Amino acid sequence: MDGRYAASPTGVPGTPGPPAVRRSLSTYARAIARQLPSRLLAHATGSGRHRPAPLGHPERGRGRSWGLGRWIGLVAVALLVAAGLTIGITRLTDEWRPPPGPGPSTCGPQVSALPLRARLAQRLMVGVNPAQPDSARAAVARYGVGGVFIGGNPTAILRGNALGPAHAAGPVPVSVAVDEEGGRVQRIDQLDGSMPSARTMAATMNPEQVHALGAARGRQLSARGVTVDMAPVLDVDGGPEDGAIGDRSFSADPNTAARYAGAFAAGLRDAGVLPVFKHFPGHGRASGDSHDGLVTTPALGELRSDDLVPYRELLGTGTAAVMVGHLNVPGLTNGLPASLSPAAYQLLRSEYGFHGLVMTDDLGAMKAVTDRFDLPDAVLTALRAGADMALWTSTAELSTVLDRLQAAVADGTLPESNVDQATARILAAKGRCAA
Catalytic residue among 179, 237, 306, 361: 361
Catalytic residue among 291, 377, 403, 420: 291
Euclidean distance between CA atoms 392 and 138, whole angstroms: 16
Nearest to 427 by CA among 175, 251, 134: 175
Cα atoms in the 13 Å half-sphere on the side-chain side of 346: 7
Torsion of CA 121, 127, 131, 135, to 10 degrees: -10
| CB-CB contact of 29 with 89 (8 Å) | yes
361 catalytic? Reply is yes
307 catalytic? Reply is no
SS3 per residue for the chain: CCHHHCCCCCCCCCCCCCHHHHHHHHHHHHHHHHHHHHHHHHHHHCCCCCCCCCCCCHHHHHHHCCHHHHHHHHHHHHHHHHHHHHHHHHHHHCCCCCCCCCCCCCCHHHHHCCCHHHHHHHCEEEEECCCCCHHHHHHHHHHCCCEEEECCCCCHHHCCCCCHHHHCCCCCCCEEEECCCECCECCCHHHHCCCCCHHHHHHHCCHHHHHHHHHHHHHHHHHCCCCEECCCECCCCCCCCCCCCHHHCCCCCHHHHHHHHHHHHHHHHHCCCEEEEEEECCCCCCCCCCCCCCEECCCHHHHHCCCCHHHHHHCCCCCCEEEECCEECCCCCCCCCHHHCHHHHHHHHHHCCCCCCEEEEECCCCHHHHCCCCHHHHHHHHHHHCCCEEEECCCCCHHHHHHHHHHHHHCCCCCHHHHHHHHHHHHHHCCCCCC
Q: What angle do CA 97, 350, 6 make, to 5 degrees?
A: 40
| CB-CB contact of 418 with 116 (8 Å) | no
Mind telling me the catalytic residues?
A: 291, 361
